[in-house]
């Protein structure tokens, strides 16, 4: 059984993303004296799921637990000195290509029970009345609008959080000296630290793995998590075009999984992506085969996604912004999700390695919790979390899992998950 952590413990956090950095900040604020964060690259890590120009901030969930937690997070996005500069309360439009969408129906019910406002639209004319900035959309969507949603500058928020961690005394090790290759475990099955690409092992009495889609490279959690890649495309707008579209909300098609942001201020960059069932890269290490992005390269560097993803995003552009639907991509990338079967995070002690703590499983919806997730993780780490939270985020013992591993809360749209072909893997440099 893992002993309770002490403020004098040397704590090594592997991963400088949402879970890792927010935990580092919270632990320092709670009086932990020796906290170090390591990663392959400086935060915002360019191929992590927590970087990029934008992420959706919303509290539209079918699960009351995450809806309530997300409302708490939105409140901090709006009010916090640290995060407010990166939050844009543009509104959030949830669309369906059919009259009834199970996820939207259930999300409405949660909103009603939690006394949260929203505006239904039964046809495109009603959407135009609620959101005049979407007047160029003529596809016959139905759905609802949440005026309290929006988006955040992900890379900016992560950069600010990393800077705040550094101000408070969190140590950072990046590059080869911060690139973990394996756990360092003693003969008593007690964690001793991690091995890295360059230099001697990094010693620690506690290790927190916040390694996202790479986690299964370091410890076998095949039964609990997997990873998938989602396509993202960027289009460079002119200043005049960005001015025309700047008042638009985030628009999300829950039939196809394709969603689009308003252009980013100053850069005039338009982003469109798909929150779907994704693509898989199977990796073999010894006798194990599991899904993971590459470890020794920047997975965001290749400007690439598969042809069927291109077609899906182009279709979305024709629905959302027909005036620029054929504009060439200025950049493309694959964004790597860390998937769990129900979309629940995994925040728990490892079941057999003493001193190893797991904080992962963002499942494509974790970023919005950046301002508050560290508090929840630290509570679990210190053994202070309520039983409902511990049970929901526990690392269950290894067992056979039937059905798809990817988040199946009903929010995903588009085609089934598929393995990338050899040619696609080559082009993606995986």
User: What is the distance between the terminal CA atoms of the chain, rounded to a whole angstrom?
Assistant: 38
Across 93-111, average pLDDT: 97
Domain definitions of the chain by residue range: 10-392
| Strands in 48-177 per DSSP E | 55-57, 87-88, 92-96, 119-121, 142-146, 150-152, 171-174
Residue 47 reports pLDDT greater than 90: yes
Residue 407 reports pLDDT greater than 70: no
Across 190-204, average pLDDT: 96
pLDDT at 280: 95
Class of domain 10-392: alpha beta
pLDDT at 339: 94
Residue 404 reports pLDDT greater than 80: no
Q: What is the pLDDT of residues 282-315, one digit of tens each?
A: 999 889 999 999 998 999 999 999 999 999 999 9
pTM for this predicted structure: 0.96
Q: What is the pLDDT of residues 32-45, one digit of tens each?
A: 999 999 999 999 99
Q: Where residue 410 falls among pLDDT bands split at 50, 70, 90?
A: confident
Separation in Å, CA 326 to CA 220, 235, 320: 44, 10, 12
- The C-alpha atoms of residue 53 and residue 85 are separated, in whole angstroms, by 14
- The C-alpha atoms of residue 144 and residue 250 are separated, in whole angstroms, by 12
Which of 319-323, 406-410, 414-418 is predicted most confidently? 319-323
pLDDT at 1: 56
Across 150-170, average pLDDT: 98
pLDDT at 3: 81
Average pLDDT, the chain: 95
């Amino acid at each position: 059984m893992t002993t309770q952590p002490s403020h004098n413990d040397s704590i090594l956090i592997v991963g400088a993303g949402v879970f890792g950095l927010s935990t580092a900040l919270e632990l320092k604020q709670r009086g932990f004296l020796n906290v170090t964060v390591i990663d392959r690259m400086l935060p915002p890590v360019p191929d992590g799921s927590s970087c990029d120009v934008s992420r959706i901030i919303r509290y539209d969930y079918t699960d009351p637990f995450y809806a309530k937690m997300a409302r708490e997070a939105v409140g901090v996005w709006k009010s916090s000195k640290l995060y407010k500069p990166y939050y844009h309360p543009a509104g959030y439009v949830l669309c369906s290509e059919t009259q009834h969408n199970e996820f939207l129906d259930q999300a409405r019910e949660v909103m009603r029970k939690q006394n949260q406002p929203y505006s239904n639209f039964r046809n495109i004319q009603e959407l135009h009345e609620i959101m005049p900035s979407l007047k160029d959309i003529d596809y016959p969507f139905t759905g609802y609008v949440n005026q309290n949603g929006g988006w955040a500058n992900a890379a900016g928020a992560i950069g600010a959080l990393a800077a705040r961690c550094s101000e408070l005394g969190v140590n950072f090790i990046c590059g080869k000296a911060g690139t973990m290759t394996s756990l360092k475990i003693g003969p008593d099955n007690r964690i001793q630290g991690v091995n890295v690409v360059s230099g001697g092992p990094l010693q620690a009495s506690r290790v927190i793995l916040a390694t996202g889609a790479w986690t299964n490279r370091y410890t076998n959690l095949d039964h609990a998590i997997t990873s998938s890649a989602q396509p993202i495309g960027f289009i460079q707008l002119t200043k005049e075009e960005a001015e025309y579209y700047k008042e638009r909300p985030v628009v999300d098609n829950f039939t196809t999984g394709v969603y689009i942001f308003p252009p980013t201020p100053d850069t005039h960059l338009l982003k469109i992506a798909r929150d779907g069932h994704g693509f898989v890269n199977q990796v073999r290490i010894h006798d194990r085969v599991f899904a993971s992005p590459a470890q020794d390269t920047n997975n965001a560097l290749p400007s690439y996604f598969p042809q069927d993803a291109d077609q899906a995003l182009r279709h979305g552009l024709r629905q959302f912004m027909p005036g620029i639907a054929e504009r060439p991509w200025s950049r493309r990338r694959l964004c790597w999700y860390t998937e769990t079967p129900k979309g629940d995070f995994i925040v728990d002690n490892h079941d057999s390695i003493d001193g190893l703590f797991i904080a992962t499983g963002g499942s494509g919806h974790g970023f919005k919790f950046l301002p508050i997730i560290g508090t929840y993780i630290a509570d679990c780490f210190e053994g202070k979390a309520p039983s409902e939270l511990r049970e929901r985020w526990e690392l269950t013992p290894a067992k056979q899992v039937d059905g798809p591993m990817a988040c199946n809360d009903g929010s995903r749209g588009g085609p089934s998950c598929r393995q990338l072909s050899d040619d696609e893997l080559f082009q993606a440099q995986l």
